[in-house]
């Protein structure tokens, strides 16, 4: 995983959608899961969050802890926005949650699209741009396709998506925006260097 990029996207695309408390709780879930070992799963306990995440804004709060009701409210908000999802029942170690990164969160993808639409664009001829080998340009293809495989429509992320040439390079295809599509690893490996029409015909797709 390209962890620095994920962190950058959290700051750019997720944190603006959260309150300070919600952002702190998300980072608390992110650190022992994705940041530590790449796994999106983590067990979270309400009492640990009360004590270990952040202090209450009320100076006279008992123990200066965030209230249980506030913890529940933050969990509900993070779930509603798609940043976390409950995936198990509570036990002594907490409740199992899945933590999502911005590429997997629809609200973040929408916010990113709105933000980038207002950014100034350099006047460069499209034919001069390599959308296959340059990481920033690859992302533009992924975003155009909504991070979905153009062949099987599987929802992907920055770390599971690949690019495929519509017209293979061996057949004269280039690395232009129009000649590249987002593909899952399975479809990309099955298609290999065949033209799209031949690949889809073999799969029986219309």
At residue 181, the pLDDT reads 94
At residue 115, the pLDDT reads 81
Asked whether this chain's domains 3-106 and 124-203 adopt the same fold, the reply is no
Q: What is the DSSP letter of 111?
A: H
Instruction: Name residue, tokens 């797709």.
Output: 205
At residue 124, the pLDDT reads 45
Question: What mean pLDDT value characterizes the chain?
Answer: 81
Q: Please, which residues have CB within 8 angstroms of residue 47's CB and are 6 or more apart in sequence?
A: none
What fold, for 3-106?
A: Arc Repressor Mutant, subunit A (1.10.10)
Q: Could you give the CA distance from residue 109 to residue 86 in angstroms, rounded to a whole number?
A: 21
pLDDT of residue 71 exceeding 50, the answer is yes
pLDDT of residue 199 exceeding 70, the answer is no
Q: Do residues 165 and 202 make contact, with C-beta atoms less than 8 angstroms apart?
A: no
Ordered alpha helix ranges (H), 17-174: 20-30, 36-37, 46-52, 68-81, 106-117, 135-144
pLDDT of residue 197 exceeding 90, the answer is no
Whats the size of the chain, residue-wise? 206
At residue 203, the pLDDT reads 61
**Model confidence at 53, in pLDDT bands (50, 70, 90)?**
low
The closest of 105, 88, 117, 93 to 22, measured between CA atoms, is: 105
At residue 106, the pLDDT reads 93
Rounded to whole angstroms, what are the CA distances from 47 to 51, 57, 58? 6, 17, 18
Domain boundary assignment for the chain: 3-106, 124-203
CATH number corresponding to 124-203 = 1.10.30.50
pLDDT of residue 91 exceeding 90, the answer is no
Residues 107-147: tens digit of each pLDDT: 999 998 888 777 665 544 555 688 888 877 888 899 899 99
Per cent of the chain over pLDDT 90 is 31
Residues 162-191: tens digit of each pLDDT: 899 888 888 888 889 999 999 988 888 887
At residue 138, the pLDDT reads 86
Largest CA distance in the chain: 72
At residue 40, the pLDDT reads 92
């Amino acid at each position: 995983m390209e962890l620095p990029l994920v962190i950058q996207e959290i700051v750019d695309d997720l944190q603006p959608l959260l309150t300070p408390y919600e952002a702190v709780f998300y980072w608390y879930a992110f650190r022992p899961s994705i940041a530590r070992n790449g796994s999106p799963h983590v067990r979270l306990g309400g009492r640990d969050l009360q004590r270990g995440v952040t202090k209450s804004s009320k100076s006279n709060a008992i123990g200066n802890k965030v209230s249980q009701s506030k913890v529940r409210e933050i969990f509900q908000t993070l779930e509603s926005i798609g940043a976390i999802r409950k995936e198990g029942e509570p036990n002594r170690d907490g409740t199992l949650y899945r933590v999502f990164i911005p590429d997997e969160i629809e609200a973040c993808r929408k916010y990113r699209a709105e933000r980038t639409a207002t950014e100034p664009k350099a006047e460069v001829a499209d034919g001069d741009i390599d959308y296959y080998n340059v990481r920033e340009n690859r992302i533009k293809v992924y975003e155009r396709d909504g991070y979905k495989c153009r062949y099987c429509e599987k929802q992907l992320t920055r770390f599971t998506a690949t690019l495929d040439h519509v017209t293979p390079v061996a057949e004269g295809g280039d690395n232009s925006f129009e000649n590249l599509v987002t593909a899952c690893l399975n479809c990309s490996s099955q298609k290999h260097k065949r033209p799209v029409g031949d690949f889809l015909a073999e799969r029986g797709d219309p």
